[in-house]
Structure 1
Amino acid sequence: MAERQLVVYRDGDTIAQAGAQRTLLAILDTLSAQPQAERFDLALTGGSDSLKALSYMASNPLTQVIDWSRVHIWWGDERFVAADDEDRNALQARRRFLDALVSDGRLPAANIHEMPADTRSPKQAAADAAASDAGDDTANDALLDAAAQQYEQELVAELGEQPVFDLLILGMGPDGHYASLFPGHTEVNITDRLVVGVNHSPKMPPLRLSLTAPLLARSRRTWFFTAGAAKADAIAQVFAKPDNPSYPSSFAAGTEEFIWFTTADAVAKVL
């Protein structure tokens, strides 16, 4: 595994700008240096810093010189809601950046690999939620597991039995969670799946899908975009002890590069 690096910027906006530039350069350099390579696989998650970076990518001149037909987009986690729900990470990414690439004919729509959305009627979703609130998670758990298996199958079909991303971009919550792997939940300890359903998420919405910790740790490059004093306690704990279920982000890694892009107030208890 790569040694963890720490890059401290002035503020979150600088992280987003630098992150956008670095991401585009990583794609461009990899595809240019390895013309025999068929593709570049980029995995995204939600979060304000990551979404802001996508907005900066949209206006960056480097976007115009990348062969997007060789780029595939994946998600590290997703809110299990309807495809047009504002909570969808993929919807936000499409609006900020990806849809423009598709409409311009640069990025094939098939290269965007969204996690499954919730296709239930509002009435059925409400009924299943009511059952869950009453202690019966059978319907929601089955639905999440089926969706997780569907995304697993897509990963394996595209990237093989042991999928590896070229670049994984993550954020971290003040509680130390990453993707949708939360402290106090068992999903961070699952090692025999690529994708898991997450029920009763402590952050709304309560139903989610997430890549598992072993898959997330296999990325060639892993970058965290994490800013703000609210993250300071969690970052200190993450840096103090690896693979700590109380702070799931401590499970993250990268095989060739592992960088935390952050701000001084976020790492005040580390430096």
Structure 2
Amino acid sequence: MAQRTLVVYPTKDAVAQAGAQRLLLAIADLLGERLAGGKTRARVDVALTGGSDTIKALEYMASNPLTNTIDWTRVHLWWADERFVAADDDDRNALQARRMLLDRLVAEGRLPESNIHEMAADTRNAADIAAADDTTTDALLDEAARAYERELVRELGVVPVMDIAVMGMGPDGHYASLFPGHAEVSVTDRLVVGVNHSPKMPPLRLSMTAPLLAQTRRMWFLTAGAGKADALAHVFATRNDPAWPSSFADATGELVWFTTPDAAAQL
């Protein structure tokens, strides 16, 4: 169980800038590590998510000189959660990340497309979506979740480990797509789950589970703004409270919230 650390920056923009700089430095450090026998690390695995703070950090990465120094052929990108919508839907976390940074790296021949591990998109038409009942939708989400599980295991082994996860936290305390009042936050026998009737639109999602995310070596939350103050206070007051899903967040190394004074006001 990792110790929770709080780092307070003066502004929301500073949180995003610091997140970008820290992520690039951490990737560069890991790629430069000398392992036993003088070998270098073969790969670095990073889990991303959506949210305004994380997307802003990716925007800053796109213009950061450090981005051009990284061997992106050895970096693999995953998603801690995804909105189960069409591949070209603006709500897609992966699409936002591609627009901010990843598509440019691919176009420049620096990041192999195969290193971008997207969760499945919804390929149904509008009529089929509208006609689907919960049983049908749950089965579709479950198969998409199992497909991502298989990819994780194929790439990283039976117990997949992310080197870094860059997370956000909602005002309700959710992280990834693990929401209060939903059973998914307490699931312990899956790596990825489908989420139906999300309280935050869009309603269909896929999410890594709390036990999988807890295997991450470094988990960082970019959490800025007064709207996060109540959730942050509850998360730091207890652990593993389903009413505040981010209280389940854990890591095997660093567990840090990068935040602003107004978000930390109740601590």
TM-score tier by shorter-chain length is over 0.9
AA at the equivalent of 1:57: M
Match of 2:99 in 1: 95
SS at match of 1:7: strand
User: Does 1:168 find its partner at 2:204?
Assistant: no
- Distance, in Å, in 1 between the alignment partners of 2:230 and 2:69 is 41
Query: Residues 205-254 of structure 1: CA distance to partner in whole angstroms, max 9, x if unpaired?
Result: 11000000000111000000000111111111100010000000000011
The question of whether the paired residues in 1 share the 8 Å contact of 2:8 and 2:259 is answered with yes
Alignment of 1:131-210 (within 5 A): 131=133, 137-210=134-207
AA at the equivalent of 2:32: S
SS at match of 2:128: helix
Match of 1:134 in 2: none
Q: Cα distance, 1:86 vs. partner?
A: 0.5
Q: Cα distance, 1:121 vs. partner?
A: 1.6
Match of 2:231 in 1: 234
Q: Cα distance, 1:2 vs. partner?
A: 2.5
The question of whether the paired residues in 1 share the 8 Å contact of 2:214 and 2:250 is answered with yes
Match of 1:15 in 2: 15
AA at the equivalent of 2:56: K
Q: Cα distance, 1:125 vs. partner?
A: 1.0
Q: What's the TM-score once normalised by structure 1's chain length?
A: 0.96
- Distance, in Å, in 1 between the alignment partners of 2:117 and 2:210 is 19
SS at match of 1:174: coil
How many positions carry a matched residue from both structures? Answer: 263
AA at the equivalent of 1:138: T
RMSD: 0.7
Instruction: Could you list the structure 1 runs, at least 4 aligned residues long, displaced by more than 2 angstroms after superposition.
Output: none
Identical amino acids, percent of aligned pairs: 68
Alignment of 1:1-271 (within 5 A): 1-34=1-34, 35-128=39-132, 131=133, 137-270=134-267
Query: Residues 144-169 of structure 1: CA distance to partner in whole angstroms, max 9, x if unpaired?
Result: 00000000000000000000000001
- Distance, in Å, in 1 between the alignment partners of 2:123 and 2:216 is 30
Q: Cα distance, 1:264 vs. partner?
A: 0.7
Structure 2 gaps of 5+ residues are none
Q: Cα distance, 1:127 vs. partner?
A: 1.1
Q: Cα distance, 1:171 vs. partner?
A: 0.4
Q: Cα distance, 1:16 vs. partner?
A: 0.5
